Structure 1
Amino acid sequence: MTEPMHPLRIAAAPISWGVCEVPGWGHVLPASTVLSEMAALGLTATEFGPPGYLPVEPDRLRELLAPYRIAAIGGFLALALHRDPPAARTAARASAELFAAAGAEVLVIAAATGDEGYDTRPQLDDHQWRTLIDTATDIRDIAAGYGLRTVLHPHVGTLVETGAEVERLLADSDLELCLDTGHLLIGGTDPVALVRRHPDRIGHIHLKDVRADLAEQIRCGAIEYSAAVRQGLFVPLGDGDVDIETLVRCAHSGGYRGWYVLEQDTALAAEDTAAGPTRDTERSLRRLENIGAALDSAGPRNERIRAAGA
């Protein structure tokens, strides 16, 4: 397999093929199908998907991934951090143990409400907020014991969603963020501005492009998140209203060298196949590769400019 002609570390995620942790979200394609589609696109890394989607026994996981030459880099775990810290810590430890055994790098946690889905959420009091922060910090320390980094994912329908909540998290903790371009924009945060303000707090990136018109309808309560997804909320990179190229350039110039995970949340009907998600993921992948190639070609020029000015 040839090395990519760009400096970006690109991974995929099963949610781009409709595999979601929410009960009743949609048709779930077999892992073998999703991995085969990823491999056909030339992708060599993936997140795990929902707990249990990939095997939890390390030997079985390696046997499943090996034919596709795909590595598991980590995954997403939605936990009620504010409500039941012992249960959250136990679940995180189990995932961290699996991730480490698989050679993964990162544990992505979200501050779940404790209810199913992402369409409604409560407001926290100060004590619950402090519990959320403390539990997330505990989980970071647990994961570090397994050699993993932990990032907190601002996410629609969780307790860290809005711009104010993201800024409060950054002020009240030293946790790194999973910068999810789509969920941030939907929650009211400009992801480009965020990476410019806090380049040192970006620990992982999920790349999505989003239709701003549907994002606004979610924010004002005119439509639920799950319905917006089914109406085409997420689109291939470059087709929506997130300035993906500027974001990648800002993250790279700010020193970010982690994974760029292609994620276009989708929900499949029973009759749907992998063809549509694969087509969209390929478009996003080629767009990101082109951005990366431009970064790579700019590097030597920038080095020459700095040397000439020294």
Structure 2
Amino acid sequence: MTTPSTIRVAAAPISWGVCEVPGWGRVLDAATVLGEMAELGLRATELGPPGYLPRDPAALRSLLGDHGLGLVGGFLAVPLHERPADAVRAAADSAALLAACGADVLVLAAATGLDGYDERPALTETQWRTLVDTAGEVAGTAARHGLRTVLHPHVGTHVENSAAVERFLADSDLPLCLDTGHLMVGGTDPVDLAKRHPDRVAHLHLKDVRADLAGRVRAGEIGYAAAVAEGLYVPLGDGDVDIEAMVRFVREAGYTGWYVLEQDAALGPDSPLDEPRRDTARSLDRLASIVDRLQQQPIDQE
């Protein structure tokens, strides 16, 4: 296992099956997850779901410090299309914690308000406008804490498929968290999106996807949670996302942000407990080989 040294690589608890969705799967304790991140040579993580890691800044800093980890940012999935004040309050709470622990990015998703990510009710025009406006208010709140806000297109949220992603880019000036997996599951080629909107890529979640299962999710043949449990996401290089093309492009475009390894996982009662660590190690090796190869190539300035 090799950790790339010329880019900033971080992890996320979801790679160890830690998710906010009720009944998602077995949840490993934080000491195990953070310890395995550190053993893999990773030096930073995203926060994970609310309540998984301490909400007290001093306690969180101490826990992360015990494992030699910094904090990149955190994922906040809240309804943006209704009750804007609730979303802004949640953002203020998250931003205060993140800022106090040295993070610099709030990763925002336009939640439906339903449990899980298997349903996405249609929005009215008024609700869409509220969503866009509320995202802007959240960004302003986070900025007052010194944080950047990125909108995360995510399966089962109101910015999921290609049409919604393009509409958000047209209607809002917020940059994106470019998640290679969620975009592909939603029907967007992540490399093409990055090439068409390089100035909007401000945070990167790297994951690989099985195109066969992604197609079944889009067709409504299988729910998202069930697809994850069946192995929708795989280590980098084992799926159908052109990870090397993505890394090459963002490198050439001057991206200097974090490369967050996120292989969304759901651990069943019989899942091998070392599987998340092994999968993350394989992704790190693949990423390192890509970066090493690209380091030998001149950057295309055109």
The higher radius of gyration belongs to: 1
RMSD between superposed Cα atoms in Å: 1.5
Corresponding residue for residue 35 of structure 1: 34
* Whole-angstrom CA distance in 1 between matches of 2:8 and 2:273: 24
Corresponding residue for residue 239 of structure 2: 240
Report the CA distance between 1:273 and its aligned residue: 5.0
User: What is the CA deviation profile of residues 223-264 of structure 1, one whole-angstrom value per residue up to 9, with x for unaligned ones?
Assistant: 101110011100000000000000111111112111110001
1:140 partnered with 2:135:
no
Q: Extract unaligned runs of 5+ from structure 1.
A: none
Corresponding residue for residue 164 of structure 2: 165
What's the TM-score once normalised by structure 2's chain length? 0.96
CA contact (8 A) 1:6 1:293 kept: no
Q: SS at the partner of 1:94?
A: helix
Matched ranges for 1:37-186 at <5 A: 37-186=36-185
Structure 1 residues 155 and 37: CA distance shift in structure 2, 3 A: same
CA contact (8 A) 1:234 1:265 kept: yes
* Whole-angstrom CA distance in 1 between matches of 2:296 and 2:57: 39
Structure 1 residues 19 and 215: CA distance shift in structure 2, 3 A: same
User: What is the CA deviation profile of residues 5-32 of structure 1, one whole-angstrom value per residue up to 9, with x for unaligned ones?
Assistant: 6421100000000000111111111100
* Whole-angstrom CA distance in 2 between matches of 1:273 and 1:70: 25
* Whole-angstrom CA distance in 1 between matches of 2:132 and 2:267: 34
Amino acid at match of 1:260: Y
* Whole-angstrom CA distance in 2 between matches of 1:292 and 1:302: 12
CA contact (8 A) 1:83 1:114 kept: no
CA contact (8 A) 1:34 1:274 kept: no
* Whole-angstrom CA distance in 2 between matches of 1:194 and 1:266: 25
Corresponding residue for residue 16 of structure 1: 15
Amino acid at match of 1:220: A
* Whole-angstrom CA distance in 2 between matches of 1:220 and 1:77: 27
Q: SS at the partner of 1:269?
A: coil
What's the TM-score once normalised by structure 1's chain length? 0.94
User: What is the CA deviation profile of residues 247-284 of structure 1, one whole-angstrom value per residue up to 9, with x for unaligned ones?
Assistant: 11111111211111000111112344530011000000
Report the CA distance between 1:290 and its aligned residue: 1.5
User: What is the CA deviation profile of residues 81-119 of structure 1, one whole-angstrom value per residue up to 9, with x for unaligned ones?
Assistant: 001111100000000000000000100010000010000
Amino acid at match of 1:216: G
